């Protein structure tokens, strides 16, 4: 997204969730969101097989009995 699109996304999503969306806050939140978006794009490039489910309650390794 462009900076303007990010700003609009934050503004609209905040409204959808009932969050305060004054201009100064939207600008600050958009700056954080933009940094996360760049990171999310990197993660999006990872190829996950379709049968890879999210963890129910994450367990780092089965415990050996």
Partner 1 sequence: MSLHYLSSAEITQGISKGSFSASEVLQSSLDRIETTNPKVNAFTAKHVDRAIQKAQSIDALRASGASLPPLAGVPFAVKNLFDVQGQVTLAGSIVNCHHAPAKQDAFLIERMAAAGAVLVGSLNMDEFAYGFTTENTHYGPCRNPHDITRVSGGSSGGSGTAVAAHQVPLALGSDTNGSIRVPASLCGVWGLKPTFGRLSRRGTFPFVNSIDHLGGFANSLDGLATMYDAMQSPDALDPGCHVKKIEPVLPTLQQGTKGLRIGVLNGFFEDNASPQAREVVATAAKALGVHAQVEWPDATLGRIAAFIITASEGGALHLDNLRHRIEEMEPLSVDRFMSGALQPAAWYIKAQRFRRMYRDKVNALFENWDVLLAAATPVSAPVIGTDWLEIQGQTLPSRAAMGLLTQPISFAGCPVVAAPMWPSLNEDLPLGIQIITAPWREDLAFRVAKQLETLGVCQVKRVEL
In the shown chain, the binding pattern of residues 27 to 46 toward partner 1, with x for contact by CB under 8 A and - for none, equals -xx-xxx--x--xx-xxx-x
Q: Please check whether residue 26 is in contact with residue 3, taking contact to mean a CB–CB distance below 8 angstroms.
A: no
Q: Please check whether residue 25 is in contact with residue 6, taking contact to mean a CB–CB distance below 8 angstroms.
A: no
Residues 2, 4, 18, 23: which binds partner 1 (CB under 8 A)?
A: 18
**Cβ neighbours for 9, distance < 8 A, ≥ 6 positions apart:** 1, 30, 33
DSSP class of 60: S
Closest separation in Å from C-beta 61 to partner 1: 4
Q: Which residues contact partner 1 by CB under 8 A?
A: 9-10, 13-14, 17-20, 25, 28-29, 31-33, 36, 39-40, 42-44, 46, 48, 52-55, 57-61, 63-64
């Amino acid at each position: 997204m462009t900076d303007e699109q990010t700003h609009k996304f934050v503004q609209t999503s905040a409204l959808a969730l009932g969050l305060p969306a004054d201009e100064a806050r939207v600008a600050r939140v958009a700056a954080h969101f933009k940094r996360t978006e760049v990171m999310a794009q990197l993660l999006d490039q990872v190829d996950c097989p379709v049968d890879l489910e999210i963890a129910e309650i994450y367990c780092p390794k089965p415990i050996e009995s």
